[in-house]
Structure 1
């Protein structure tokens, strides 16, 4: 392997207590402790997407992973947006539309509140993970100061070069450069610019690596050894993988979703706001395509849309109905394999080393 690449990887792994530069992506709603335990024990980094978790659940997650692994994990929070504008007539129209795809939307469904961000920040500090990460913006300076005082590293998810520079200036210890290929929600700082600012990993990784002094972690569209090697050659110090782990048994994904990943080509995914009100990439199911039609109602802002679609999403999972399921997937979904997560980590790294020479 090239000396510069090797020293970059070694420095990163040494700093963050890893044996391998392969990290699990923090996927809210799809990151059970079992998955992180397997990845961490294989030498990588586990992850908790804590967006949906109340503080006691955050503590429980950290305690379970810590007790059954080497303790290498990150915990991730969304930085909240300003309160969205409400449009009752538009929300009612969306509720009627959603009733075609699932149960009738209950009155007040769009009022479902977010978990209190300040309480989650306190819970993050109390859980004391070695690493925390932010997405959808930067943590406030006072919270960054509390993290640094506690000796907790901060990684900032970014989707553009401008966001990366802002993260470094704000004190981030590393950036997670997320290409537009990524499944689920992308970490765009300005919600309304997500679709217009779609930068692919092949362009984003070297641009950020050249501009910043802090390490770059590459994510988005990486699901096999070739992708790992390519990201490292482009300047990344490590890679973060989401969709590539979703077919592992430890991910405990709904079977219809897991099976569909194997059949989803790169063009079989699409970016939509129809599940949460924020742009996210998922399998182009019947609901997703219908919601994109010219005569379909426009999605409500986040998190109102998430509340409106909750009954539909839950019913789809319970019945195994992929057509209305929130089946997030990146563009490399077909490369995901149904093998144990620990074995997957080892194979990814072995294959990547073969490509790197």
Structure 2
């Protein structure tokens, strides 16, 4: 759990909904929301003795990813009947304005199998059940309100345009938006406008694929394993419609599987998708998937550079005298920059001590 004031409007709201302030647990760790766990109100529990998540959006946050849906809870409501066999939290309607997500009791996959460790086959099998169900949900299948206008959506199957919109968001909303404040830091790290020219050259030419619903944030902390060994997928904040290979790329990048399991998961995805598309207009739609996957992974490596630089300065601004945090963030940025040398066409990566000095100046 994160450190928050003892009282806040979000906590007060959670206490009011629960009917028992002493039963409120939290806040949970989370960037976008202040979240508390409460017993389900009697009016909506219907005999369910479980708990729900009461969330309030945090104000004045920087956005690092595109958003597709106005409400995560309403998306989850719309998913009913579309994800049979995959474990997705239920949503309870308290009022027209108040929806509570089911709180999944268990341990995150990251707690049970930390980053870099092998994930047991039984859990990977459940990840693929999710991939299969999402692959069947086309852009017109869900009646749920979206943030973006129709004009700001890529045409179904136009994977190249889908990726260009993600690159554009990273360039405009993360890099250029923060450049007036962090320009000297970007310069010291070798990050300039030319990086996006290089990135576009690197990822150009994605092949068309049938669009479907993507979770877009499938990492170890967004999977919860319950007492029965069932794998639940939480935090649908970044869900969108688009190229399913992007969901695989994001998953592989964030999961940090061992190399051998990374390769097995990628190959299995291609086999599963080819089987699902057999006999349809998209038969053969996985052609060239290996080359396109490397392009999408390079996009994720590049995107992480700009996201992590901005986040590191946020962390250090809140803890300006934390030497351990400064060293940790400098080494993390060194690793991220090194991984992105090819897609961003970086001529070199500063040593961790130089990165730490530049971060310290920016944060102060």
TM-score, structure 1 as length reference: 0.26
Specify which structure has the bigger relative contact order, considering alpha-carbon pairs within 8 angstroms and separated by 6 or more residues.
Answer: 1
More helix by share: 2
TM-score, structure 2 as length reference: 0.26
Q: Say which one has the larger Rg.
A: 2
